[in-house]
A and B are shown apart, each in its own frame.
Chain A
Amino acid sequence: SYELTQPPSVSVSPGQTARITCSGDALPKKYAYWYQQRSGQTPVLVIYEDKKRPSAIPERFSGSSSGTMATLTISGAQIEDEADYYCYSTDSSDNHSPWVFGGGTKLTVL
């Protein structure tokens, strides 16, 4: 079955740049999506189609993808960005192919 691999944790100081990676064999041909889940809250979409940002998401959030790796970048991380981040994708265009989440990355900002 298809898998997306993320580092379990990333730690940065406030104002630094945080980078969270997601690797998957199908990422060269399939989009990655990124979700933020703060403690006790429901997930929020922060990046779609590899690099596009919903209008309500701060500009410090950006995404990129190269080869089998997608990256979520938070430029100038803030305390409120501390959360779990999940990538999400599929390995086929078939409507019956499963979607998968990465295992999640806990971002600590301190």
Chain B
Amino acid sequence: EVQLLESGGGLVQPGGSLRLSCAASGFSISTYAMNWVRQAPGKGLEWVSSISVGDDSANIADSVKGRFTVSRDNSRNTLYLQMNRLRAEDTAIYYCARDELVPPAPLAHWGQGTLVTVSS
């Protein structure tokens, strides 16, 4: 069974940093494209970042480019999102999501999310 467990959220001051983790089980993250999606309170979904298989090339939304970095540790079977220079508008639930290969579909499996609150 595919399971994704996010952690690392919390309250942080503007300008601060957090690192989110997404621990995967039931599959190897090295063989799937992985993603971060966020949802601000009462708002819609926003794609944040994707990391592809093979070359681990990362794709980052313009709204967080230069501040957020996505990476994965295959030995720990864990996906990360390093968030620097946080702003109030980064406040959201952050979801980790895995693409599916067969049938081919993005964001086929989701974690429960971790809440990040940026406030002084």
Q: Which residues of A contact B (CB under 8 A)?
A: 1, 33, 35, 37, 42-45, 48-49, 52, 54, 84, 86, 88, 95-104
Contacts and interface: CB of A to CB of B under 8 A. Distances in A.
Nearest to B47: A99
Interface residues of B, number: 22
B106 interface: yes
A104 B45 contact: yes
Contacts of B50: 99
A17 to B, nearest CB: 24
B79 to A, nearest CB: 16
B112 to A, nearest CB: 6
Contacts of B62: 1, 98
- Of residues A37, A42, A43, A97, which shows the largest number of chain B Cβ atoms within 10 Å of its Cβ? A42
Interface string B91-112: 0000100000001111110111
Nearest to B113: A42
Contacts of B110: 42-44
B106 A101 contact: no
